[in-house]
Amino acid sequence: MALKDCKEQKEDGMQSDIGEKAGSLLTGASNVINQTFEYAYRVSYLAGSRLIRYGRRISKAVSSGMKTFFRPLKKESKLVAAKTTEWAHIIADDIAGPFKKIRNGYIIAKRRVKHASRKGATSVMKECFYLLKRDIKECKHVIVKFFNYVMPVLAVVVLVLTLQHFGSLNYALSVEYEGEQLGYIADEAVFERAQKMMQGRVVYEQEETPKEMSARFTLTVVDADTQFASVDHVTDKLIEISGNNVSEADGLYVDDKFIGAAENGEKLIELLNSMLDQYRTGTADERVEFVKPIQVKQGLYPVSSIVDVENIESSITREVQGEQVYTIKKGDVPITVASEHDLSVADLKELNPNIDEAFFPGQELLISRSQPFLGVRTIRTESKKTAIKHATKKINDATLEKGTEKVKTEGVDGEKNTTYEVTYIDGVEESRTTIKEETLKKAVDEVVLVGTKEPEVSYGSSGSSGGYVPPSIGAGSTQFIWPAQGYISCGLYGYAGHTGIDITTSGAYGKPIYASAAGTVTYAGQSGPYGMHVIIDHGNGVTTLYAHASALYVSTGAKVSQGQTIAAIGQTGNAFGAHCHFEIRINGQYMNPVNYLP
């Protein structure tokens, strides 16, 4: 009995040691796992709490902005903020939930293992397997949650990296023609241009037509330092493959059109320079160039397209339009001639500067100048000195009698220097642009004193014949002046009914008629034998009449000053020859103007 008790006591001691060791091992593992998950829980909780805090800040900012700018949407903004906060809580709880379960599970597991250790090793092992199974299930939930949130982000990152990778690659088109590799080109347009250039270099017979060309293009990834084939290189390769008899030469292209090729490229360039030298003057800043773009390209050319430099010279120095002239016919005027030849009058005058002075039947007009195939543009900077016209200032002077003027300061013209950029086409000026103007000498204004003093009452003339003293005209009137330049062709009553004097001179028609004295125009028009005439009232019953005018420069009611131009000499009404019929009337009586003129 004692032996049996001792044996049972020994077995119980062994089971107790195994249970304590398993319990301590499980406790250590539990502590490590517990600390790990507690740390993960704290991290997730901290992330969730910050996410909630940021969500609240964002919702607060959004709400504040909505109140300021979108007051009608106040309720909606609160709803959005609430939803944002709700979603933040859900996401935080969703992340932290599994960690909370694992943490709480291990707290419970620690107690269960401790309790199972009292029952023996078998109970401890069963409890451990149960806890392990349960934790694996919880860890599976954690992994699923992790992938739910992390995988979309990883997918976006992978997509961005993939796009960057393929976007950083260099692509090119590999061109293959008739089984031969031509090289790499950037796009198909390079091959198309090379095909046109190749066809332009080849001289076809009348019965031949250009061969249809088809190439194979393959999109290929190339290194960054891969050299792309140029149009000229592809052209040379096409000509080489075409089977034509080819040779190395220099081709001349005018406006991208092939003119011909020469074996000696230096002579070709010398020819082009000699054409430009004809327009060079050696002035500073001078630019001489061809109007059309010129290119000399070295490469492979069919032998049939290679010619002598002299042949190329005849092609590029020919005229594409000859000089045209027109013979003036009877009845032609500049505007009709210009319209018949699709020109403006300004262009016609530019071609014929003397057209205004000389335009007679039988005379030849230049309609268009000859135009060479290869025009030359010359651009020069030119300067020209021109006069600056002085201005005239008039100043009233009460010391001078009214109607008189006196120059106080003589006017002096100034001088300026204008710099132009002038463009010539084949030696003929095409345009002129002003670059700057510089005043070399300032103009001095002319100062003229204009009299405003009313002269004293004075009628008659000390030069009157026979000592005749005219009747008094009345106070407040002024002395008369001659209304026109010339001589008296017919005096008072030179024939029956002639109530004035006629003043005329050689070429009188159109010359000015002046107001003999200041006054008010009471009539200006055309009527009766006087034709076009003017009547001026000088006050105190004194009037003057100016008849047979060709033009009137004043109207009824106008105030005129002495010496003012009021009409032009003519031959209207009952008049023989151009003259001014002048009358002086005093209270309706016709007076002899000779007695009142100086």
Measured between alpha carbons, how far apart are the two ends of the chain, in Å? 185
Is residue 513 one of the residues assigned to a domain? yes
**Is 332 found in the same domain as 309?**
no
Q: What does each of the 598 residues of the chain score in pLDDT, given as a tens digit? A: 444 454 444 455 544 555 555 556 556 555 666 666 566 656 665 666 666 776 677 777 766 766 666 565 556 667 777 777 777 777 666 666 666 666 666 666 666 666 666 666 666 676 666 666 766 766 666 666 666 666 777 777 888 877 776 666 676 667 777 667 767 776 767 777 776 776 666 654 444 455 556 666 666 666 667 777 777 777 777 776 666 677 788 888 888 888 888 888 888 888 888 888 888 888 888 899 988 888 888 877 877 778 888 888 887 777 766 667 888 887 788 888 888 888 888 778 877 877 776 777 888 887 776 677 788 899 999 888 999 998 999 888 888 776 677 888 888 999 999 999 999 888 878 888 998 999 999 999 999 888 887 654 333 333 333 333 344 444 334 489 999 998 888 888 888 888 999 999 888 899 999 999 999 999 999 988 899 999 999 988 899 999 999 999 999 999 999 999 999 999 999 888 899 999 999 988 899 999 888 8
**Is 225 found in the same domain as 181?**
yes
Cα(42)–Cα(96) distance, rounded to whole angstroms? 9
What is the predicted pLDDT for the residue at 297?
83
What is the predicted pLDDT for the residue at 217?
64
Place of tokens 């107690």: 111
The residues, any chain, with a CB within 8 Å of residue 125's CB and separated by 6 or more, are 22
**Is 131 found in the same domain as 22?**
yes
Query: Which helix H or strand E contains 194, and what residues bound it?
Result: helix 188-201
Q: Which residues is 535 bridged to in the sheet?
A: 523, 545
Is residue 460 one of the residues assigned to a domain? no
Number of domains the chain is built from: 5
**Is 304 found in the same domain as 178?**
yes
521 touches 554 (CB < 8 A): yes
241 touches 180 (CB < 8 A): yes
Residue 89 CA, chain-centre distance (Å), reads 59
What is the predicted pLDDT for the residue at 483?
94
Is residue 245 one of the residues assigned to a domain? yes
**Is 470 found in the same domain as 574?**
yes
User: Structure pTM?
Assistant: 0.42
175 touches 139 (CB < 8 A): no
Q: 451 phi and psi, to 5 degrees?
A: -70, 140
**Is 525 found in the same domain as 551?**
yes
Domain edge (last residue) among 452, 474, 503: 452
Tokens in use for 348?
Answer: 């016609």
Q: 3-state class of 323 per DSSP?
A: coil
Is residue 459 one of the residues assigned to a domain? no
Domain CATH for 387: 2.20.230.10
**Is 181 found in the same domain as 140?**
no
**Is 415 found in the same domain as 499?**
no
Domain CATH for 506: 2.70.70.10
What is the predicted pLDDT for the residue at 543?
94
The residues, any chain, with a CB within 8 Å of residue 201's CB and separated by 6 or more, are 235, 239, 251, 258, 261, 301, 302, 305
290 touches 377 (CB < 8 A): yes
- Closest residue by Cα to residue 269 from 247, 248, 294: 294
Q: 3-state class of 179 per DSSP?
A: coil
Burial of 64 (0-12, 13-18, 19+ CB in 10 A): exposed
**Is 253 found in the same domain as 238?**
yes
Domain of residue 126 covers 17-165
- Closest residue by Cα to residue 584 from 503, 486, 480: 480
**Is 27 found in the same domain as 159?**
yes
Domain CATH for 65: 1.20.120
**Is 387 found in the same domain as 337?**
no
Radius of gyration of the chain (CA): 57
How many other β-carbons are positioned within 10 Å of the β-carbon of residue 192?
Answer: 14
What is the predicted pLDDT for the residue at 109?
63
**Is 110 found in the same domain as 37?**
yes
Residue type, 372: P
Residues in the chain: 598
Is residue 280 one of the residues assigned to a domain? yes
